Amino acid sequence: MQKTLIALSLIAATATAAFAADDPIAVRKALMQSNGAAAGLAAGMMKKEIDYSPAAGKAAIAALHATAESFGEFFPEGSDMGADTKASAAIWENPEGWQAELDQFKAAAAAATEASGRAGPADLAAFQGAVGPILGTCKSCHEKFQTR
């Protein structure tokens, strides 16, 4: 009985892993949702709805940086199909333009990570200066490469 349960849960775990690896649309959407959450934290602190702390500032920047570094991996040929994606066909039709947007996102996130140092940006003004350029890349890329 015990053994059957273990075997079944192993099968379930393997099936989930295979599903995630085979579904780049689900991965890139989840990455963008984490982007949305980090941008929400950043905006909340900038609007003073959430108290600023260097640790929280650093966490928001780290999450944005992680997405910037990985997002581009999840756009294999043909994954513009399906009801589930808002990725525009322009990503595959204009690979240089797409790469340029990805590079801007990565460069802004890398610069912000550098600026945030070990402890995170010291105050709200420093945080704003670091994170602002990353947030500027959201709209620019969505306008060109996300369908509405």
Q: Smaller CB distance to ligand HEC: residue 32 or 62? A: 32
Q: Smaller CB distance to ligand HEC: residue 7 or 144? A: 144
Smallest distance from ligand HEC to CB 105, Å: 4
Binding of ligand HEC by 116 (CB under 6 A): no
**Interface residues for ligand HEC in 30-49 (CB under 6 A)?**
32-33, 35-36, 39
For ligand HEC (CB under 6 A), the number of binding residues is 23
Smallest distance from ligand HEC to CB 12, Å: 24
How far is it, in rounded angstroms, from Cα 124 to Cα 145?
31
Q: How far is CA 40 from the centre of its chain?
A: 12
DSSP, res 119: T
Segment 53-56 long-range contacts (CB within 8 Å, at least 24 positions apart) = 53/120, 54/116, 54/119, 54/120, 54/121, 54/122, 54/123, 54/127, 55/119, 55/120, 56/120
Half-sphere exposure of 130 (CA within 13 A, CB side): 27
Smallest distance from ligand HEC to CB 17, Å: 20
Q: Which residues contribute to the site for ligand HEC (CB under 6 A)?
A: 25, 28-29, 32-33, 35-36, 39, 64, 85-87, 101-102, 105, 134-135, 137-138, 141-142, 145-146
